[in-house]
Chain A
Amino acid sequence: MDHDGASELLGVYVLDACEEAEAAEVRAHVDTCDACSTEASRLREASGWLGASEPATPSAELRSRILGAAGQPYDDIDGS
């Protein structure tokens, strides 16, 4: 994929909105192109903030499960 083709896909690429094969081609170009790498990082940071617009608190059980799976000392898991 050439530079123009990859750069016009950068927005949809960072939103995970390309087909997998196409995303792989964009990724290969971004890895070798400073301009596209910089732009992709900037757009990815913006897209990441989209996630902040819809927070939802998971259950306390999930917290215990995840902290436990990471080997958290038992006394600390329910501490907060």
Chain B
Amino acid sequence: MEPESVFWERRLHRRLLEGEHPAFADLYDQFAAVVFGVALRVTANTQAAEDICQTVFLEVWEHPERFDPSKGAWRSWLATLAHHGGVDWVRREKAARLRNDAEAELGHERVPDVGEAVESVLMAEQTRLELSKLSDDERLPIRIAYFEGKTYRQVAQDLSLPEGTVKSRIRSGLHHMADALDSEVVGQET
């Protein structure tokens, strides 16, 4: 069965609802790189990213009913949970001012990843491609807000733009990504 096909996603969900331990290992092995990657990118802190990764996966193990396969993919949902965790950590620790130092350290940790699942690499390339298709006006505020865990007000300050402009560019950029992913990534999965 093709990982991340609609059938695979729903079957995995059913197995998790039944409390199957091997299903949890399958979920982890398929998506750990995404969950850890988001958390590491947002927090720039390995320990925090590991803790977030553990929290996200154990939450799914304990409450698989919170995932609704009719509303989206496991990959997207897990990335969203990891992002929430990362943003919470960044804001709680007020770590934004330390990012420059932390990112220098991060550069050494994030070496190319030979053990990574091929699917993850392809998906990453696909998403990077969709992001690269956006205009700079849309891509930049999305990248800063998402990967640096900043509020739109902070993004507006960083880019010297009105807050309303940042709000509308992020919204339209996400719509453009959704349109592109509908036709390309999701189309491949069904």
Interface residues of chain A, those whose CB is within 8 Å of chain B, are 8-12, 14-19, 41-59, 62-63, 65-67, 69-73, 76-77, 79-80
Chain B interface size band reads 35 or more
B116 at the interface (CB under 8 A from A): yes
Q: List 17 A-B contacts (CB under 8 A).
A: A9-B167, A17-B151, A44-B72, A46-B178, A47-B80, A48-B72, A51-B76, A52-B76, A53-B131, A55-B113, A55-B120, A56-B33, A57-B36, A57-B116, A62-B50, A69-B58, A70-B61
B133 → chain A, closest Cβ, in Å?
A: 13
Q: Which residues of the other chain, B, contact A73 by a CB distance below 8 angstroms?
A: 21
User: Given contacts A48-B77, A57-B32, are A72 and B25 in contact (CB under 8 A)?
Assistant: yes
Q: Does B121 contact A (CB under 8 A)?
A: yes
Given contacts A12-B145, A73-B21, contact A51 B171 (CB under 8 A): no
Which residue of the partner chain B has the closest CB to A47? B174
Give the distance in Å from the alpha carbon of A59 to the alpha carbon of B46 in the complex. 10
Q: Which 10 A-B pairs have the closest CB atoms?
A: A51-B79, A48-B76, A11-B171, A51-B38, A55-B33, A46-B178, A11-B170, A56-B37, A53-B127, A58-B36
Per-residue interface assignment for chain B, residues 132 to 159, with 1 indicating a CB less than 8 Å from any chain A CB and 0 otherwise:
0000000000100111011111010000
The chain B residue sitting closest to A70, CB to CB, is B61
- How many pairs of A and B residues are in contact by the CB < 8 Å rule? 195
Which B residues lie at the A interface, using CB under 8 A?
21-22, 24-25, 28-29, 32-38, 40-41, 49-50, 53-54, 57-58, 61, 71-73, 75-80, 82-84, 87, 109-110, 113, 115-116, 120-121, 123-124, 126-128, 130-131, 142, 145-147, 149-153, 155, 164, 166-168, 170-175, 177-178, 181, 185
Given A50-B127, A56-B33: A18 and B152 interface contact (C-beta under 8 Å): yes
Cα-based distance from A62 to B181 in the complex (angstroms) = 31
**Partner pick for B21 among A10, A43, A59, A72, CB 8 A cutoff:** A72
With A and B bound together, what is the CA distance between A72 and B61 in angstroms?
Answer: 11
Chain B residue nearest to A45 (CB atoms) is: B72
> Which of chain B's residues has its CB closest to A51's CB?
B79
Whether the Cβ atoms of B37 and A51 lie closer than 8 Å is: yes
| 6 extra A-B contacts, CB within 8 A, seeds A42-B178, A50-B127 | A11-B171, A15-B83, A48-B80, A51-B78, A57-B32, A58-B32
CB of A17 within 8 A of CB of B152, answer: yes
Task: Return A47 CB to nearest CB of chain B, in Å.
Answer: 6
The distance in angstroms between the C-alpha atoms of A66 and B172, with both chains bound, is 38
